[in-house]
Structure 1
Amino acid sequence: MTSLPPLNALRAFDAAGRHLNFRAAADEMGVTQGAVAQQVRLLEAHLGIPLFERLPKGLAFTAAGRGYHARVTTAFADLRSATNILKPEPGKVLVSVTPTFAAKWLIPNLPEFSATHPEIDLRILATEKVSSFHGDGIDLAVRQAQPPFGAAIDAIRLFRQDIVAVASPQLVEGLDLPIGAATLSHLPKLHDAHDLWPRFLKAVNTEDRSGHGLHLSQTALAIDAALSGQGVALVSKFLAARDISLGNLVQVSAEGLSGNQDFYLLAQRQSKRSPATEVVLQWFLAKAGPDA
């Protein structure tokens, strides 16, 4: 395996590339200008190619140097991010949630939390990936799942997966709500990765007569499409509750579905939770639905 370049040389190259000036890079790193120049020369010798053109008033990238600097900068950013996640910080709580939960429930409720608990540095990791308490350094996670969970995890149900059909008021303007199955069958459908429309239409004893509809990868996108009047979306009721209360969405059908996977708050056992994590956990419980 080709050996990696010396870390100090990479740091000097990173700083020099951002400033395109050895003196400014030296000031940032707290060393002499000559030391930075020497480290960059060592890196160039290691790679066997020049990375900078030395100009009378600074530096300019070579073609190879510009591309290499972009990759080195990204690598350092990833290292800093990984370190910040794992580094213990009093008051910091990292919560892993799905993008849909983040966009449609958590973000709208965060101003209240920030006003009540300004001392807590709440950080949100929005990802579909299953996060690890140890490997990813998360403190809490909200996931759509079903028991059983691991023996070392506390799992608290926040919301049941109660599925309802919603649309913008403009899409169903002039129709008497709730609409019947025959009317619903002709309205355009918005599909997400959960693909619940076949079950829903079977439950109301009808078929889809609206065509292919729009297919989206996330429920949040289906809700946004419904808000813009592009069709009817099937969503967990609590995710649409805010837009329904504001009149941006309406529940178009009286029927609903009970999903197989409810929304759970996952945490390590209480003995391993920080005081700040416990505060955030209790806030989630206070904001949760009646079935929590």
Structure 2
Amino acid sequence: MFQKLPPLNAIKAFESAARLNSFKAAANELHVTPTAISHQVKQLEESLNVRLFERKTRAVILTSEGEQLAAAANQSLQNLMLTVNQLKSAPRTLTISMTNSFASMWLVPNLASFQQEYPDIDIQIRAEESLIDIEYDRRVDMVIRYGELAHLGKNDSLSYIPLRQDSIGFFATSNYWQTQLDKASDAVWFCTRWKNAHLPNLGLEKEIERVSGTGIPNIRYFNDENLTAQAALSGQGIAVISELAAENAVQQSWLSKGTNTMATTITGLYYYLVIPRRQLANPAAICFKDWLCKKLATGSDQPAIKNLIS
């Protein structure tokens, strides 16, 4: 689109000389020699096939063509400088889309450590269940998703970074475990029905049947893992949720994982980060990616898929 435009250095040299009416003054302003200014202007004239200056003994005077180009060059460079200054002074902000449960149960409780490490980066969270088209939706800089690794890497304009394989366990309050210690068949179980219909069935119900020892366990469903966890936190039953999502509640001693047969862990899918190509060189995006990978302690057995950001 802009291949036929003259080099920016030539435009800068010409604009400075035109504004100051002097090659020498332009050289001082741009910290180059007058000869360099003269050479840049001459190249510009040759590429345009017009004379831009009338050379006098102690001054240069713009031709009518030079006046036209000088006005356009000055306005363009002013606009460019204004935008650059705005970008330099603006806070570094990242808008990240993720599910409600990941946002409320993991990222928000851990966000303080990121802010301590990178106080000048502002993280804006978009908690939503819908899958946005991050390649074209420029309101979002990156997304954290949950799914199968086999589905990743199908779009070359996106970078897919596996963060951690999920493990699903049984969690309840200490009081609930005490009351149900010998009565697993009477327990109330809470599970999540994902809104994303493309996610595979992990066989949670069969595992609950096996553990509870009854053919028809009392299972209740929510469509948000955060609600599933809240039901357990209120002492109503056992939440079958991600160990990553339960991490903060366990650290605070609000929930604990069961013991013996109730200590069952079910292998889940992967949490992964998706970054569009336009963000790959963004220093703030790189900082967040590095922090997230470190915080989630990606193991050596986790395959690195299209990790294009460095």
Say if 1:208 and 1:241 are closer, same or farther in 2 by CA, change over 3 A: farther
Higher mean alpha-carbon deviation, 196-205 vs 161-170, is at 196-205
Q: Indicate the residue corresponding to 1:188 in structure 2.
A: 188
Shift of 1:130: 1.1
Say if 1:115 and 1:184 are closer, same or farther in 2 by CA, change over 3 A: same
Higher mean alpha-carbon deviation, 157-166 vs 190-199, is at 190-199
Structure 1 gaps, min length 5:
1-86
Q: Indicate the residue corresponding to 2:122 in structure 1.
A: 121
What SS is found at the alignment partner of 2:174?
coil
Task: Letter of the 1:201 partner, please give it.
Answer: I
Aligned length: 199
Q: Indicate the residue corresponding to 2:172 in structure 1.
A: 167
Q: Does structure 1 retain, via aligned residues, the 8 Å contact 2:233–2:255? A: yes
Shift of 1:129: 1.0
**TM-score of the superposition, structure 1-length normalised?**
0.61
Q: Does structure 1 retain, via aligned residues, the 8 Å contact 2:148–2:270? A: yes
The correspondence for 2:256, drawn from 243, 250, 256, is 250
Q: Tell me how large the CA RMSD over aligned residues is.
A: 2.6
Per-residue CA distance 1:48-106 (angstroms, 9 max, x = gap) = xxxxxxxxxxxxxxxxxxxxxxxxxxxxxxxxxxxxxxx98651111111000000000
Identity across matched positions, percent: 23
What SS is found at the alignment partner of 2:162?
strand
Q: Indicate the residue corresponding to 1:135 in structure 2.
A: 137
Say if 1:108 and 1:130 are closer, same or farther in 2 by CA, change over 3 A: same
Task: Letter of the 1:140 partner, please give it.
Answer: M
Q: Does structure 1 retain, via aligned residues, the 8 Å contact 2:180–2:186? A: no
**TM-score of the superposition, structure 2-length normalised?**
0.58
Shift of 1:208: 5.3
What SS is found at the alignment partner of 1:161?
strand
Say if 1:107 and 1:208 are closer, same or farther in 2 by CA, change over 3 A: farther
Cα distance in 1 for partners of 2:255, 2:214 equals: 23
Cα distance in 1 for partners of 2:164, 2:242 equals: 9
Task: Letter of the 1:229 partner, please give it.
Answer: G
Q: Which has the larger radius of gyration?
A: 2
Shift of 1:151: 2.0
Shift of 1:210: 4.8
Structure 2 gaps, min length 5:
1-85, 195-200, 303-310
Per-residue CA distance 1:144-180 (angstroms, 9 max, x = gap) = 012333222221221212110111111112665xx7x
Cα distance in 1 for partners of 2:177, 2:229 equals: 16
Shift of 1:138: 1.4
What SS is found at the alignment partner of 2:140?
coil
Cα distance in 1 for partners of 2:217, 2:119 equals: 49
Aligned ranges for residues 180-219 of structure 1 at < 5 Å?
183-194=183-194, 197-202=204-209, 204=211, 206-207=213-214, 209-211=216-218, 213-219=219-225
Cα distance in 2 for partners of 1:221, 1:172 equals: 19
Say if 1:174 and 1:221 are closer, same or farther in 2 by CA, change over 3 A: closer
Say if 1:206 and 1:289 are closer, same or farther in 2 by CA, change over 3 A: farther
